[in-house]
Amino acid sequence: MCKYAIIVAGGKGERMGNHIPKQFLKLNGKPILMHTIEKFHSTFPELKIILALPENQFDFWEELCYKFGFTNIPHEIVAGGKTRFHSVQNALKLVNENGIVAVHDGVRPLVSQHTIINCFKTALQLGNAVPVVDVVDSLRYVNKAENKAVKRACYKIVQTPQCFQTALIKKAYQQDFIEEFTDDASVVEAIGIKIHLVTGNKENIKITSPEDLVIAEDYLTR
């Protein structure tokens, strides 16, 4: 079985208040994106890694790889698109063997090996796997007319990697983009496929703010 990982890294860094895109910010001494790629490579050394980056960031990534000696993990680079959907769609053009495709956010460097393995294993058995964790805060439903409490047990926080059998995800991404496609699971669900949930790891946060970076540093230190 061929294993692929599409790492989507299209951030611009606005919420970080930084001119450097968030995936390139340093975490424990090296860019966040390098931590993410290393985690997948260390879990499955045979994994084929496809990195989706904005085309105008190719040269900068190459400079970072040289600067940090990040040359021992083979990976292909593909131009990201206008949205996350289009970036994954472009990356799937490089997937040409049957197996499992994992799609992961480049700024989730703290995903555990257990989560990665569990997602691949479940996708092989059931066709797809999406990691989730419990909601611990109280939730309220809000619209223009009202707001009301809802049962948090009925909701989950969705993470990545989201894993799919190759034929399934390639078929799903033949659809035209709609705004409701917020992740890969929503794309696959739109062609009538049941999504299978697996337990993620709570440390697997998406780093989008300076506060997230502090939390990630703390996790790595501990």
Q: List, in order of start, the domains of the chain with CATH numbers.
A: 2-221 (3.90.550.10)
Whole-Å CA distances, 114 to 69, 95, 193, 198 = 27, 24, 25, 11
Q: Can you give the pTM of this predicted structure?
A: 0.94
120 — phi, psi (to 5°)?
Answer: -65, -45
Beta bridge partners, 79, equal 53
Residue 15 pLDDT > 50, yes or no? no
Residue 111 three-state SS: coil
- pLDDT, position 151: 96
Beta bridge partners, 132, equal 158, 199
Contacts of 34 (CB under 8 A, 6+ apart): 64, 68, 70
- pLDDT, position 213: 94
d(CA 180, CA 41): 31
**Encoded amino acid at 86, one letter:** H
Quickly state the pLDDT bin for 129 (edges 50, 70, 90).
very high
- pLDDT, position 16: 46
- Count of residues in the chain: 222
pLDDT in tens, 88-124: 999 999 999 999 999 999 999 999 999 999 999 999 9
d(CA 217, CA 40): 19
Q: How many CA atoms lie within 13 A of 174 on its CB side?
A: 6
Measure the CA angle with vertex 174, ends 184 and 189; round to 5°: 40
Other Cβ atoms within 10 Å of 106 Cβ, number: 28
